[in-house]
Chain A
């Protein structure tokens, strides 16, 4: 084994503004992510749109996860074990593109975020490591 497992996972937590989708997060977010998958079916999207709160009753998620979903608080959902490819089923159902939805996690407006991308994106300078501050 090239590296100690504990060190491997510790490093993954050392990136500013990033939640790497580790097995630990995946366990926490299992039902949240499986709920998201259900929105790949048209009839489920219709039920979700008709009454979001009622649709969530079918899913054994925590209240926190349900509230974060209703609020479309994507950073919170990442903290609660969500993964962006799963959460994409929620924002796609809302008619949002990846750029629209992703920008909401950055504290920037969609327009400012788009401008940043057109100008070459966010520099890695200063956001590589929490410990190193580089």
Chain B
């Protein structure tokens, strides 16, 4: 049976991708950014931890989807996805390979579980999906895991509530458990933490709020889905709203969830970088 073994969350700041692609890991600006991923890099490649499949909860940044099509929740079901050209050529990263049977199984189960998923077969994936892979896996010839892309609209309002994201995570967990193949599965939530990329208030960072959010991932998780959009926006900046995607990940975990690793650093570009690794309970 397929089993969710861990949840991972990480920012997907484009600059992290630039750092990896241009080999700047030892540059003084980048060093503290990458140092916080060393633990995860070692942990994830140990055979007992290495996932077969990552369900990657991310958002598209006007790359695959434009204003013609704005799916609230979408799942990638094709065999592979190419890195997107975001305006300066595609990132030099491997093609993202899916486990399409498993992705279709999850799509079917979610729809029958009352989540009206959009199914995508052709989608170029942007930094929202590829930067987390680079941060954790570096520059391999091929990504060492299969990836099921799960895109959430966090750009055009209204976006889904934190509660809805959490419940989607719970439904994903049910779908995973009913897949007969023996697979180790991780759910990754990406984006955040505090940042605002627009207007005179740009550059907003709220380390105190972010740290409490990280604490509450294990200390007070039942509070997390109740945070309204306006609180993310006021406290963590207009783009801090991406943290609702972390709730899909957290909603997919159950029982006594244990924090294995945490990394928080300001700044990476305009953003507070946050990263956490959570072991799933029973």
Give the shortest distance, in Å, between B215 (CB) and chain A (any CB): 18
Q: Is the CB of A40 within 8 A of B201?
A: no
List residues of chain B with CB within 8 A of the CB of A20. Answer: 157, 233, 238
One digit per residue, 1 when the CB lies within 8 angstroms of any chain B CB and 0 when it does not, for chain A 76-106 equals: 0010000111101100110001110011011
Known: A15-B233, A34-B66, A129-B234. A97 touches B269 (CB 8 A): yes
B158 within 8 A of A: yes
- What mask results when residues 14 to 30 of chain A are scored 1 for a CB within 8 Å of chain B, else 0? 01111111110010011
Residue of B nearest to A81 (CB): B67
Per the bound structure, the CA–CA distance linking A36 and B118 in Å amounts to: 25
A39 proximal to B (CB < 8 A): yes
- On whether the beta carbons of A26 and B267 are closer than 8 Å, the reply is no
Q: Assess whether A40 is in contact with B14, with CB atoms less than 8 Å apart.
A: no
Residues of A within 8 A of B266 (CB): 117, 120-121
A83 touches which one: B62, B87, B203, B206 (CB < 8 A)?
A: B62
- Contact present for B204 and A127 (CB under 8 Å): yes
Measured between C-beta atoms, what is the minimum distance from A107 to chain B in Å? 6
Q: Interface stretch among B35-43, B137-145, B192-200?
A: B192-200
Chain B's nearest CB lies how many Å from the CB of A35?
11
Across-interface contacts of A103 in B (CB, < 8 A): 202-203
Q: Which of A58-81 contact B (CB under 8 A)?
A: 74-75, 78
Given A34-B67, A92-B86, residue A85 in contact with residue B199 (CB < 8 A): no
For residue B198, which residue of chain A has the nearest CB? A84
Q: In the complex, A97 Cα to B68 Cα: how many Å? A: 26
How far is the CB of B229 from the nearest CB of chain A, in Å? Answer: 8
B72 to chain A: which residues have CB within 8 Å?
none
Interface of B, secondary structure class, is loop
Instruction: Please name all residues of chain B whose beta carbon is closer than 8 Å to the beta carbon of A93 when the two chains form the complex.
Output: 87
* Cβ contacts B192-235/A at 8 Å (1 or 0 each): 00101111111111110100000000000000000011100111
Chain B, 132-168, contact with A by CB distance < 8 Å: what is the 0/1 string?
Answer: 0000000000000000000000011110010100000
Q: A19-B199, A26-B67, A127-B201 are in contact. Are A98 and B62 (CB under 8 A)?
A: no
Do residues B200 and A75 form an inter-chain contact, with CB atoms below 8 A? yes
- B272 lies within 8 A of chain A by Cβ: yes
Q: How far is the CA of A18 from the CA of B163 in the complex (A)?
A: 24
- Please provide the chain B residues from 24 to 74 with a CB less than 8 Å away from any CB of chain A in the complex: 61-63, 66-68
User: For residue B161, which residue of chain A has the nearest CB?
Assistant: A2
CA distance A128 to B205 in the complex (A): 12
Q: Which residues of B contact A8 (CB under 8 A)?
A: 158, 229-230
Shortest CB distance A88–B (Å): 7
In the complex, what distance in Å separates the CA atom of A67 from the CA atom of B228?
Answer: 37
For B203, list chain A residues within 8 Å (CB): 102-103, 106, 113, 116-117, 121-122
- A17 and B200 contacting across the interface, CB-CB below 8 Å: yes
Interface flag for B270 (CB, 8 Å):
yes
Whole-angstrom distance from the CB of B62 to the nearest CB of chain A? 4
The 8 Å CB contact of A88, one of B61, B205, B236, is B61
B205 contact set on A, CB distance < 8 A: 117, 120-123
Name B197's contact: one of A23, A102, A116 (CB within 8 Å): A102
Of the A-B pairs whose beta carbons lie under 8 Å apart in the complex, a sample of 11, sorted by A's number, is A15-B201, A26-B156, A37-B67, A84-B197, A106-B200, A106-B203, A113-B203, A116-B203, A117-B266, A120-B267, A122-B201
Other than the known A83-B156, A117-B205, A118-B267, what 9 A-B pairs have Cβ atoms closer than 8 Å? A2-B163, A8-B229, A33-B62, A99-B269, A117-B203, A121-B204, A121-B266, A124-B204, A124-B236
Interface residues of A (CB under 8 A from B): 2-3, 8-9, 11-12, 15-23, 26, 29-30, 33-34, 36-37, 39-40, 45, 74-75, 78, 83-86, 88-89, 92-93, 97-99, 102-103, 105-107, 113, 116-118, 120-124, 127-129
